[in-house]
Amino acid sequence: MNSQETPLLQVRDLAIGFGSGEPLIRDINFDVSRGETLALVGESGSGKTQTCRAILRILPKAARIHSGSVLLNSETGDIDLIAMSERKLRDIRGNLISMIFQEPMHSLSPLHRVGAQVSEVLCLHRGHSKRSAKEIVLQAFERVGFPEPEQVYRSYPFELSGGMRQRAMIAMAMVAKPDLLIADEPTTALDVTTQAQVLGLIRDLQQETGMAVILVTHDLGVVANCADKVVVMRNGRIMESGPVATVLDNPVHGYTQKLIAAAPSIPHEAEPTCTRVVRDPILQLENISKSFDLRGGSFLSKSTIIKAVRGVNITVERGGTFAIVGESGSGKSTVAQIALGARTSDAGGIIRFWPKAGEPPIEVQTLSPPEKRNFQRQAQMVFQDPFSSLSPRMQVIDILTEPLEIHQIGTRLERKDRAIELLEQVGLDPSMLRRYPHAFSGGQRQRLSIARALALNPSLLVCDEPTSALDLSVQMQVLELLEEIRDNLGLSYLFISHDLAVVSRIADEVAVMRRGQIVEQAAPDVLFTAPKHPYTKALIAACLEPSMDQKVDLEAVAIGAGNPDTWPESFRFTGMQAPDLVESEPGHFVRVQL
Amino acid sequence: MTNLTDDHYVDSAPYDANAETSAPAHPDLDAPNWLLIWRKFRRHKLGLISAVFLAISYLMMPFAGFIAPYTPNERNADHLYAAPQMVHFFHEGKFIGPFVYPETATADLEQFRWVYTSDYDHPAKLEFFCKGGTHYFLGFIKTDRHLFCAPEGATVFLWGADRLGRDVFSRIFYGGQLSLTVGLIGITVSFVLGISIGGIAGYFGGWIDWVVNRIIEVLRSIPELPLWLALSAAVPSHWGPVAVFFIISIILGLLDWPGLARAVRSKFLSLREEEFVRAAEMMGAKPSRIIRKHLLPNFASHLIASAMLSIPAMILGETALSFLGLGLRAPAVSWGVMLNDAQNLASIEIYPWTAIPMLPVIFVVLAFNFLGDGLRDSLDPYSHD
């Protein structure tokens, strides 16, 4: 790198506060040179998003920039974006600096065609006519990987998937050929395979145009794969910054070390497999299918039937963890709900539950209401979103004793003792009994959620993405807690996740789902070291790890993550027809044509 | 600050890796809901002033007879359309306590109006805790004591007198008793209907929801005023004022529930999707428990705000009906009934004080709107603006 050259963007002593108080974000200093990618890393609340919003001065109303400067090196010399008038700044936004937001759903206007929204930038900043703008936009669409740019140009945002929308957003950010692209968690809302592809696209575009990129992310895996420099933030301050290789390979600050240690990763070498001999199932799903009736508004309109789950068979071992992995829409959550009897399976599906080893199973689908309540005592669920799964109007003690109250167990005092015991079990302080959920952080709330699920002493827990809404370091703690509880209390888990790395840690057996069907199923060490199915390979390849020598293999991702009818011939789905699930080796099932 | 190499910067402040395991992350949010709402509401000055004003207004209602110097239908045949009188303290430069100058009426036959001349030589000192017309203190203690009244031979019409020589000031207090309660009774009827119908539609969904929605749409498409008129006209004319009053409030409530039912239904629908409701279902809670323990507490505050915003519509409705002569009728006194007397444009021009009852209507309606607004802003204490 040429150190004589002036950096494109210099942020100096930036301090941002909310309301009249002391600045919450302070002493922010970093440089971005042309053609360089800087990653701003931190957990939620670290101030990384506000920092990059301050560069464009699009902070929320309550926020105020206390001091500092943001110098942008343009043709006419350095300009200070903080001191600049709002009117002049408008010329810079979208022209010299573009931004991509986290949520592709909300950043495109639903009322306008995608093409019109993208060409607006050109008409506004470059004075293009509609026709010439369209040509450029079509080229950009082709560049970001749309097979039929013309069709995308005419479509509305709701017609595109999340990944497609994020591509459209990237095209929008790119058409004006900005000097600097700010990407605020551009891939957090996307599936892992899509994430890898979108990041690859940003990297390619950057090499092509020589622009600088500021990438805001909480994922060190993304940093390792994309960035040149990294800034680690915590509580509004920079903890450590420097070249990626230096920071990731030799982290000095304790916080950086902790972040790197917490990042989940997939084992690369097979560990000796402990062979399970005794088959002692606790839950068995046989031939589970679920079709949904999509109705357009009222009961007068016609319905279309969607098959969300097709012919799933799984067996959860007592004391073990069975994991289902898949992208959004793969049907994994539906399977979890069916397993708990919250939804019914289509005709032909059987769910068996063995309350105790050696006893005859009960059939969940055919239970009478009182029997079902009895079943619910033994099988509980942990939810994904810790912010919506606890009622904001209830104190911790009410939340924890509610299951006992519903099932009329114990006196008030006994219930309170149980609540204290539960809090201790999940590593929270018993003094928190009278507090409200909003006083807690995401990780603490997820612990509360787990405590509530444990209140009835269940033998089976269904965990529906229990860690995906949490910061990475907290994710690790919650996973450790789940493992500890499983081993101490002899629980069995049905674990749903989209993240192979999370699953690799906790599961005894993993099933990969796509389009409502299991495409591959095996013990994790077998699955991760010797995957057979292209989709599993894509999932593994798309996992980003915080080390410099594990780069994403985009080709493998592209093969497996595509439509199931573009898979290699022996794996291909044709319409509704899919190959059968066959046992290629003992305990290793693949959906393949032999 | 430590700079290890050229570019590598490491913060030197002490760092505790295990700092945040068990302490609450947002202790400021750790308070019961009502306290959080109050903290936020306190900052909404206009809402706070309105709340105080309304509290005083409602608290004064039972004492109306005591505060008012006259009873509502007490006539002073010698003081028809008497102008508002000032309360003075200094007579010829000397402090002698609150007093009024007595007035006598003469008919101006040229302009055909009453002209009042004050007798500035004989100040009439106001009496306190004096005897006047009988009224019911707190509604059940029969008494003839008043806070203040004029001495023999003088009158105290603070806001003038109307066509029959009745004191406007006293009648506004009595009128408030009815006008302010109309809103409360109406809102109760509207709430019971709105919550139960909206709740049923929202919780069970399906065809029930469809039917309820269509009924609401039909009700909403009927022009309101003619419907009120038709319903009120159907009230038998021989009914007593109290019966008419109740039936009017119920009519107002019956026409107000669709809006509320819609709000309840949509709130129910969105809350049902929350994971804590699903969690309760999975624990085996029955629908009644879920509605009671999880749904209602989460939108009770929302309901209070929408009630605050609906009461003014009721008060205005009563005023409008009575103004048109179709609501309450004399001898009942409400602000609308008083305004009914002020229908004649000519008399408002000559005796503008007969329109004074508009002021309390305006102030109360504004206050309810501000209060509702303030409550709505502060109801979700967890949202940040």
Check whether residue A329 and residue A237 sit in a common domain: no
Share of chain A above pLDDT 70, in %: 94
Do A243 and A287 belong to one domain?
no
Contacts of B230 (CB under 8 A, 6+ apart): none
pTM (2 d.p.):
0.78
A293 alpha carbon, distance to own chain's centre: 28
Task: Single out the residue in A514, A530, A546 at which a domain terminates.
Answer: A530
Does residue A520 belong to any structural domain of this protein? yes
Residue B243 and residue B347 share a domain: yes
Q: Do A92 and A208 fall into the same domain? A: yes
- The answer to which of A356-360, A542-546, B334-338 has the lowest mean pLDDT is A542-546
pLDDT greater than 90 at residue A273: no
Q: What is the pLDDT of residue A303?
A: 63
Nearest chain A alpha carbon to B297:
A393
Q: What is the ipTM of this complex?
A: 0.76
If one counts the domains in chain B, the total is 2
Q: Is the pLDDT of residue B384 over 50?
A: no
CATH of the domain at B214: 1.10.3720.10
Q: Work out the minimum CA distance from B194 to partner chain A, whole angstroms.
A: 22
- Residue A593's pLDDT is 82
Is the same domain home to B152 and B199? no
- Asked whether the predicted pLDDT for residue A492 surpasses 90, the reply is yes
* Residue B218, in any domain of the structure: yes
> With bands split at pLDDT 50, 70 and 90, how would you rate the model's confidence at B19?
low
> H/E element holding A244?
helix A244-249
What pLDDT, in 10s, does the model give residues A36-50? 999 999 887 788 888
Does residue B284 fall inside a structural domain? yes
Q: Which domain holds residue B103?
A: 85-156
- Say if residue A289 is in the same domain as residue A171: no
Q: Is B33 on the interface with A (CB under 8 A)?
A: yes
Residue type, A228: D
Q: Which helix (H) or strand (E) holds A66?
A: strand A63-74
Neighbouring C-beta atoms of residue A161, cutoff 10 Å: 14
Best of B7, B207, B379, B385 to disrupt the A interface by mutation (most A CBs within 10 Å)?
B7
Inter-residue contact A198 to A9 (CB < 8 Å): no
Q: Is the pLDDT of residue B385 over 50?
A: no
pLDDT in tens, A50-59: 888 888 888 8
Does A572 touch chain B if contact means CB atoms closer than 8 Å?
no
Q: Retrieve residue B147's tokens.
A: 């806070």
CA angle A387-A185-A511, nearest 5°?
A: 70
The Cα-based distances of A86 to A29, A57, A58, A89, A92 in angstroms read 23, 9, 10, 5, 10
Q: Does A407 sit within 8 Å of B284, measured CB to CB?
A: yes
**Residue A586 belongs to a domain:** no
Single out the residue in A485, A509, A530 at which a domain terminates. Answer: A530
| Residue A2, pLDDT above cutoff 50 | no
User: Does residue A252 lie in a domain region?
Assistant: yes
B9-20 average pLDDT score: 70
What is the average pLDDT across B220-224?
84
In this predicted structure, the answer to whether residue B2 has a pLDDT above a threshold of 70 is no
Task: Report yes or no on B367 lying in a domain.
Answer: yes
In the stretch 372-411 of chain A, residues with CB closer than 8 A to chain B read 372-373, 376-377, 380-381, 383-385, 388-394, 402-403, 406-407
In a domain, A270, yes or no: no
Residue A434 pLDDT class (50, 70, 90 cuts)? confident
Judgement on whether residues B121 and B189 belong to the same structural domain of the protein = no
Structural domain includes residue A198 = yes
A217 phi, psi to nearest 5 deg: -155, 160
In a domain? residue B282: yes
pLDDT computed for residue A269 by the predictor: 61
For residues A521-527, give the mean pLDDT: 88
Q: Is A553 a domain residue?
A: no
Cβ distance A439 to B25 less than 8 Å, yes or no, reads yes
Shared-domain flag, residues B268 and B298: yes
DSSP helix/strand/coil, B361? helix
Co-location of B242 and B300 in the same domain: yes
**What average pLDDT does this structure show over A355-372?**
85
Residues A14 and A153 in one domain: yes
Domain of A424? 281-295+305-530
Q: Are residues B192 and B254 in the same domain?
A: yes
My answer on whether B150 and B288 are in the same domain is no
Residues A51 and A55: their CA atoms lie apart, in Å, by 7
Which among B20, B278, B298 has CB closest to A393?
B298
B24 CB within 8 Å of a chain A CB: yes
DSSP-derived 3-state class of residue B1:
coil
Quickly state the pLDDT bin for B26 (edges 50, 70, 90). Answer: low
Does residue A544 lie in a domain region? no
Domain count for chain A:
2
**Structural domain contains residue A177:** yes
Whether residues B307 and B218 fall in one domain: yes
Domain contains B361: yes
- Specify if B235 maps to a domain: yes
Span B318-327, average pLDDT: 81
Q: Kindly state the helix (H) or strand (E) to which residue A232 belongs, with its residue range.
A: strand A229-234
Domain boundary among A499, A530, A561: A530
- Domain shared by A102 and A194, yes or no: yes
Q: Is residue B146 part of a domain?
A: yes
Give the pLDDT of residue B356: 87
Q: How far is the C-alpha of A15 from the C-alpha of A28, rounded, in Å? A: 7
Same domain, B146 and B248: no
Q: What is the pLDDT of residue A404?
A: 92
A347 SS3 class: coil
For residue B56, pLDDT over 90 is answered with yes
Q: Quick one: B200 and B106 in the same domain?
A: no
Same domain? For B257 and B142 the reply is no
Mean pLDDT along residues A268-283: 64
Mean pLDDT highest for which of A473-477, B27-31, B84-88, B172-176?
Answer: B172-176
Read off the pLDDT band of B366 (50, 70, 90): very high
Cβ of A225 under 8 Å from any chain B Cβ?
Answer: no
Residues 268-307 of B with CB under 8 A from A: 274-276, 278-285, 289, 293-294, 297-298
Q: What is the pLDDT of residue B21?
A: 47
pLDDT given for residue A1 in this prediction: 41
For A376, nearest residue in chain B (alpha carbons): B283
* CATH number of the domain bearing residue A358: 3.40.50.300
Residue ending a domain, among B156, B187, B216, is: B156
Measured in whole angstroms, how far is the alpha carbon of residue B249 from the centre of its chain? 14
pLDDT of residue A559: 76
Residue finishing a domain among B156, B188, B206: B156
Contact assessment for residue A287 and residue A350, using Cβ atoms and an 8 Å cutoff: yes
pLDDT at A3: 44
Does the CA dihedral A445-A449-A450-A451 come out positive or negative? Answer: positive
Report how far residue A450's alpha carbon sits from residue A440's, in angstroms, rounded to the nearest whole number: 14
What is d(CA B372, CA B366) in angstroms, rounded to the nearest whole number? 10
Query: Side chain identity at A276, as an amino acid letter?
Result: R
The answer to whether residue B52 sits within a structural domain is: no
Same domain for B233 and B151: no
Res B51 pLDDT > 90 = yes
pLDDT at A498 over 70: yes
Mean pLDDT for B68-95 is 83
Q: Are residues A176 and A206 in the same domain?
A: yes
The pLDDT, as a whole number, for residue A324 is 94
Is the model's pLDDT at B253 over the cut of 60? yes
Kindly report, residue by residue over A151-205, the tens digit of the pLDDT: 888 888 888 877 788 888 888 888 888 899 999 888 877 778 888 888 888 888 8
- In this complex, which of A258, A380, A407 lies closest to B17 when CB atoms are compared? A258
B19 CB near a chain A CB, below 8 Å? Answer: no
**pLDDT band, very low/low/confident/very high, at A566 (cuts 50, 70, 90):** confident
Chain B nearest C-alpha distance from A501 (Å): 23
CA atoms within 13 A of residue A146's CA, in its CB half-sphere: 27
Residue A223 has pLDDT above 70, yes or no: yes
